[in-house]
Structure 1
């Protein structure tokens, strides 16, 4: 959990997987360099084999809402499929959901309206939530 910077929340365990580890800009193909991170995630998921897992894809605000929803869904599904295909993770316990730009964790623009590349980078992520319900 420490390596993944997992956080205990009231609903379960939250792991943020930043885009710069998983995906190239505007892509949903998982980078080969993401394998060690996803392997650690698969080991954690095996410890919670009966817990429901939600994989949420998120984007920054560049592009249309519709485009960002599709891209975020593809990214969430890519993580799920990678875990199932490469680490024999139980896919039936996982749900992939694309949120597009609807759940930012940082501002996409600065207070003066200028672009905020650092904020946009943080918003391009996949969140994995291991539910406390089993």
Structure 2
């Protein structure tokens, strides 16, 4: 199962989840795009903090365990975190957009059904 609740605190890293959790490819309908959006922002702190052991360890782990990460890291793309769209396949709500486009149609799709209030917590 994909998600923070199924991992220990040290493993709770979005890049680690995207590249190492098999459920990530099912969660993100555009996984390749999301993966690229997780690598490019890592280069910003990596360039400013060469001695950051946690970041060095994360990049090393992902490079060893994920061919996709290694390929994207070798591309040397550098971008800030605040870009792109991530579409998530939510197990109950279906498609959930992290930053929805404005408008009544989007608002209606993101409003939880009243029946969820009576459903047990998942």
- In the superposition, the TM-score normalised over structure 1's length comes to 0.29
In terms of fraction of residues, the more helix-rich structure is 2
Q: TM-score w.r.t. structure 2 length?
A: 0.31
Higher relative contact order (CA 8 A, sep 6+): 1
